[in-house]
Amino acid sequence: MKPSPALALPSLLTALALSALPALAEEAPAAFKPDLAKGQALAAPCGACHTQDGSRGIPANPILQGQHPEYIYKQLAEFKAGKRKNPIMSGMAMSLATDEDMKNVAAFYASKKAKPGFAKDKDSVALGEQIYRGGILAKQVPACAGCHSPDGAGIPAQYPRIGGQNGDYAEAQLLAFRSGARANSVQMMAIAGKLSDREIKAVVDYVTGLR
């Protein structure tokens, strides 16, 4: 007895679906596995400003040690694309020819354990802690801890680790967000735009000592 067309159709659809599985598996991209040795080699020129392991170099430059690899990659990609402006960093990012190069560099710095920092001005730490943990209600400034976490560890890839960051660098970035000179985060531009010089210095001083 011949099977009815109604019964044959589901079997045919199942067979077609199963036959497509190998093709779908072949098309799925393999997960990227960072090569730390390649990242270290590519990062050698970066040592002039960031030190060879991304630790505490010139205070005006960021500490990369222990930073989220997704965030480092995002910043390199935005320097390369011109979305974030810095003549030196744009040139350095352009020297990394591929996405894999940038990801390997990012993974190398992220593999290093971040060293603790220390606040400089004890008088401003209390105000900085208040802003970081509770925000400024009157100015509709949210608590920094909401995105950067209570200990400053951040959230990949949008929110960087800021605990222990060089204070000079952190202050310069907040001022750049406030002025619009750095425009690759609408959220940070809005927040920094509501902060006074005193409030920026206070929250930065608190952040440098977070661990």
140 by Cβ neighbours in 10 Å (0-12 / 13-18 / 19+) ranks as exposed
Topology match between the domains 36-110 and 122-208:
yes
Q: What is the pLDDT along the chain (211 residues), one digit of tens a residue?
A: 555 555 454 554 444 444 544 554 455 567 889 999 999 999 999 999 999 889 988 899 999 999 999 999 999 999 999 999 999 999 999 999 999 999 999 999 999 988 888 887 778 899 999 999 999 999 999 999 999 999 999 998 789 999 999 999 999 999 999 999 999 999 999 999 999 999 999 999 999 999 8
pLDDT, residue 170, reads 96
Provide the 8-state DSSP code for 84.
Answer: S
pLDDT, residue 138, reads 97
Provide the 8-state DSSP code for 45.
Answer: G
What amino acid occupies position 125? V
pLDDT, residue 22, reads 53
pLDDT, residue 4, reads 53
* Structural contact between residues 89 and 105, judged by C-beta atoms closer than 8 angstroms: no
Largest CA distance in the chain: 92
pLDDT, residue 101, reads 97
pLDDT, residue 5, reads 52
- CATH code of 36-110, in short, is 1.10.760.10
Domain range 122-208, CATH class: mainly alpha
Helix axes 122-134, 197-208, angle to 10 degrees: 90
CA 169 to chain centre: 15
Phi, psi dihedral angles at 136 (to 5 degrees): -130, 100
What distance in Å separates the CA atoms of residue 75 and residue 31, rounded to the nearest whole number?
21
Domain ranges for the chain, please list them. Answer: 36-110, 122-208
What distance in Å separates the CA atoms of residue 206 and residue 128, rounded to the nearest whole number?
5
Task: Give per-residue burial for 37-67: e unless 16+ CB within 10 Å, then b.
Answer: ebbbebbeebeeebbebbbebeeebbbbbbb
* Closest of 125, 116, 126 to residue 166, by C-alpha: 116
Tokens of 167: 């204070």
pTM reported for the whole predicted model: 0.82
Provide the 8-state DSSP code for 16.
Answer: H
